[in-house]
Structure formats: C-alpha cells, structure tokens
Amino acid sequence: MELRIEAFDAAGVRVIVKREDLNHPFVSGNKWWKLRKNLEFARAQNHSTVLTFGGAYSNHIYSAAAATKEIGLKSIGIVRGEETLPLNSTLAFATSQGMQLKYISRELYRNKESDDFIKSLHEQFGSFYLIPEGGTNELAVRSCEEFAKEKLSTIDFDYLCLPVGTGGTMAGIIAGLGGDKEIVGVSVLKNGVFLTEAISNLLQKIYSTTYGNWRVLTSYDHGGYAKVTRSLINFIDEMKVMHDLPLDEVYTGKLLWAVAEEARAGGFRRGSTVLVVHTGGLQGKA
C-alpha cells in the first residue's frame, strides 16, 4: 500500500508499505520467516519439542507457540520474570496453543545462553530443539535472506526501512538484496548503537562479507524497548484512523514514526521511493 502523509509529500518521497503482518493469522511478519527454517530443521532432526525464550509480552513466544502447534511439535517457553495471574493475552494465547511455560528470575534469565543453564534445562525437560530469544540464529538469518530474494527484490524502491530488535531480520535482508538499495534499520532499543556491530558480526560470520549500504538509526526508541510516549500513541492512532494501517507500539509504530521524522529532516532523496516493511507484532498492541 502507498502511504500519503504531509511529511512525505513535503519531502517529495513516495512511501510504500509491505504488509507482512497479513502473511499469517498468528505467525505474522518477520516471525514467520525467522521460525520457518528452524522448525523445518527441528523436524528433520526428529525433535518433538522446541524450547525458546521471551518476556511476558513477547511476539516471539506468541508466534513460536502457534507455529509449533501448526506443524505438530510441542513447545516450551522460558519466560523472564514471575508468573502473574490472570495471564496476559500473549501468555494466555501461548498456553492455548499447548506451550508449557516456565518462569525464571530476571537474574537467571541473563544466563540463558550459558552451557550450564542450557544443560539444566535439558535435565528438567529432556531433549528439545533450542531457538534463541527473538529467534535470531543462522537459520533465521538465511530464511530472511530468502524472504528478501523472493518478496522484496521484485519491488521498485530506493530505500528499505524496518525495525530492529536483534538484527537477524536486517542481516538477512541485507544479504538477500546483495548490497543493492539502501537499508535503514530503526532500533526499538535504548542505546541501540551496539546493533550495528551485531549485524556486522552476523554478516561476517554467516556470509564472510560486509556491505556498505546500510545503517541503524538509534534515536527513535521513545525511551526504550516497549516504552511509549503520548506522541507515539497519537501517531499510531492517526495512522489507523486516516489510513487503516494498524501499527504496534513496540516495533512498527516506532518504525513509521522514524520514517516520517527522517523525511522531514531530509534523510531521503527527493523523488525516491521508500519501502517500509511491516513486520507484524500486532498481538502486542495495548
């Protein structure tokens, strides 16, 4: 869909939105692409159970629960923090999909990648296929690479903009487009400067190459992950009323806000086309 607002018209740029939030009723946006190859590999290795991590409002937990049920696998979600009843809509949905939830302290959660902690999980739950928090690993990046080749390379644009949490989706898209176009990530995390190094490391590790056609913007987080401002909420509401475009407060709202602000600041060449990738996550809307 093409999006017309004053900021874009004044900047002389055309903005189009790739509605990946519509690609699946539950496993929407980039979560489908990040999970796809991981779940295919889990089944190929004869795993019956998938274990993963996330917070109480995690899009990843929500999507992983639905995706594993759809293909007939069991799932375990290691959730940061204490159980709070009644369950919020995210965790209630996860349990409705058959996901077993295990709550751990925030202190222990910080050790989730350690060998000793993963060993303790195997001792408790037995055999499982592990998918990291947010779903970012080599298989996820390569799946996002395929997404870029299959779904994005045929679209005529000059800039591609997407939200960034772990960097896996952006790394895959950069590789999939082969250094073509200009890729702009919007950090949804406070102090997200580290994401540039994280993405560079993923590209170097998986593809043994670097690209010079991308950057991460780090000033549009509105206070940090899952933090909101009244101006952001008003902007999201306006996009829904005026353009029938649903956005969430964690990822896509901040993304489109950043695109509008960058347009006002002259961040896009006049006459250019900006492709905004809607990465889903609407289950997290307040």
Range of the domain at 173: 2-24+141-284
Is the same domain home to 192 and 100? no
Tell me, yes or no, whether 149 and 275 share the same domain: yes
Residues 131 and 251 in one domain: no
- For residue 283, the model assigns a pLDDT of 73
Same domain flag for 147 and 277: yes
Judgement on whether residues 129 and 180 belong to the same structural domain of the protein = no
Tens-digit pLDDT string for the chain (286 aa): 999 999 999 999 999 999 999 988 888 888 889 999 999 999 999 999 999 999 998 889 999 999 999 999 999 999 999 999 999 999 999 999 999 999 999 999 999 999 999 999 999 999 999 999 989 999 999 999 999 999 999 999 999 999 999 999 999 999 999 989 999 999 999 999 999 999 999 999 999 998 999 999 999 999 998 899 999 999 999 999 999 999 999 999 999 999 999 999 999 999 999 999 999 988 755 4
Same domain, 84 and 145: no
The CATH code of the domain that includes 101 is 3.40.50.1100
Count of structural domains within the chain: 2
What pLDDT score was predicted for residue 284?
Answer: 53
Is 70 found in the same domain as 148? no
Written as six digits, the tokens of 151 are 């779904």
Cis peptide before 132 (omega within 30 of 0): no
Please give the pLDDT value at position 34.
93
Domain boundary (120, 135, 150) is at 135
